[in-house]
């Protein structure tokens, strides 16, 4: 058998272009489905972007891929760099997954109040996990991450709460996907905010196509900071971390819809039992806010919201172990 000592000639005669190899799992991120949900007896319809179909199970896979790809392409993320972030869970899981696929070490700072399933998923992907005591919401963890990054140049801090690439990703991808899937017919977009990236970025894309699109911010009734309330404890993980994120500053929000934690969990359970959609509390909260919004609009108005993540990372929380009164009550729309 002859062994070739040089590559075969290009039979097409075209110049070969060297492209970075993209791990197969990362090709699964984005291009998520948009489903139409008909609710009875309310006789209401909304559209929901199914973000839990991303490979790690949440919308944050988009952010992780966009931030790390940009950092690698611009020489900000070196082979020996350690990716660092403060996260309530989903961004940490996504960074751990994308970091593993790209061959980077990852360290995640997380509140000790986060669900145990989120902790296990982060370490399952090989990332280091540091738990901190929450004294001032996620401001505590953000400040700790900044100190660690300043003390050790090996750390690459993604700064999800203030990084404009967060909103840019949703403007370039999530928002444009929604426009394509609705043929540009969106009346109102409803979403909660953690970093503010989804709400900001999607609103940019939608308003670029139609300046009259309405933007509704869902927030926990127990911590309705956009409405001027003081932050307080709630159980809608990943939403309203104790401060209004910088990415929301200057964003035109037309309305705010507060949702109680109990109603968010009740709706998440309803989505599983009536629609077969296994989602977390923030998705339930988004749907409650979207239905209330749809009830005030004409029948033909398209209301779009986000199903952020899967329910399997909340097995130890009140979503699966609710108080009896909460379990037996219907969602208050």
Phi then psi dihedrals of residue 98, to 5 deg: -65, -40
Tell me the C-alpha distance between 173 and 231, whole Å.
31
Judge whether 282 counts as a catalytic residue: yes
Question: In the beta sheet, which residues pair with residue 255?
Answer: 216
Phi then psi dihedrals of residue 4, to 5 deg: -80, 135
Q: Catalytic pick from 235, 261, 282, 283?
A: 282
Q: Catalytic pick from 60, 94, 235, 265?
A: 60
Longest dimension (CA), the chain: 77
Tell me the C-alpha distance between 206 and 144, whole Å.
35
Write the secondary structure of the chain as one string of H (helix), E (strand) and C (coil).
Answer: CCCCCCCCCCCCCCCCCCCCCCCHHHHHCCCCCEEEEEECCCCEEEEEEEHHHCCCCECHHHHHHHHHHHHHHCCCCCCCCEEEEECCCHHHHHHHHHHHHHCCEEEEEEECCCCHHHHHHHHHCCCEEEEECCCECEHHHHHHHHHHHHHCCCEEECCCCCCHHHHHHHHHHHHHHHHHHHCCCCCEEEEECCCCHHHHHHHHHHHHHCCCCEEEEEEEHHHCHHHCCCCCCCCCCCCCCCCCCHHHCCCCCCEEEEECHHHHHHHHHHHHHHHCCCECHHHHHHHHHHHHHHHCCCCCCCEEEEECEEHHHHCCCCCCCCCHHHHHCCCCC
State whether the Cα torsion 27-30-36-41 is positive or negative: positive
Tokens 């559209």 -> residue: 47
Judge whether 203 counts as a catalytic residue: no
Active site residues: 60, 282
């Amino acid at each position: 058998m002859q062994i070739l000592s040089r590559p075969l000639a290009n039979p097409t005669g075209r110049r070969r272009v060297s492209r970075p190899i993209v791990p197969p799992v990362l090709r699964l991120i984005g291009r998520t489905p948009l489903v139409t949900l008909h609710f009875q007896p309310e006789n209401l319809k909304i559209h929901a972007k199914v973000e839990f179909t991303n490979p790690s199970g949440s919308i944050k896979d988009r952010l992780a891929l966009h931030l790390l790809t940009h950092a690698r392409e611009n020489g900000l993320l070196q082979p020996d760099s350690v990716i660092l972030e403060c996260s309530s869970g989903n961004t940490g899981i996504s960074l751990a997954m994308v970091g593993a696929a790209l061959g980077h070490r990852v360290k995640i700072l997380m509140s000790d109040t986060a669900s145990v399933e989120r902790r296990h998923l982060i370490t399952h992907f090989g990332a280091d996990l540091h738990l901190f005591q929450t004294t001032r919401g996620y401001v505590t963890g953000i400040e700790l991450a900044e100190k660690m990054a300043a003390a050790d140049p090996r750390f690459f801090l993604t700064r999800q709460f203030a990084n404009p690439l967060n909103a840019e990703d949703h403007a370039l991808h999530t928002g444009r996907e929604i426009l394509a899937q609705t043929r540009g017919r969106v009346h109102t977009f409803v979403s909660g905010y953690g970093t503010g990236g989804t709400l900001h970025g999607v609103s940019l894309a939608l308003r670029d196509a139609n300046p009259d699109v309405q933007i509704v911010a869902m927030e926990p009734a127990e911590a309705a900071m956009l409405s001027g309330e003081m932050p307080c404890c709630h159980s809608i993980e990943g939403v309203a971390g104790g401060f209004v994120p910088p990415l929301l500053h200057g964003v035109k929000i037309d309305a705010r819809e507060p949702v109680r934690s109990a109603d968010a969990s009740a709706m998440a359970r309803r989505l599983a039992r009536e629609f077969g959609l296994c989602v977390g509390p923030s998705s339930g909260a988004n749907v409650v806010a979207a239905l209330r919004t749809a009830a005030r609009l004409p029948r033909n108005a398209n209301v779009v919201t986000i199903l952020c993540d899967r329910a399997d990372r909340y097995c130890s929380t009140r979503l699966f172990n609710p108080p009896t009164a909460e379990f037996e009550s219907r969602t208050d729309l």
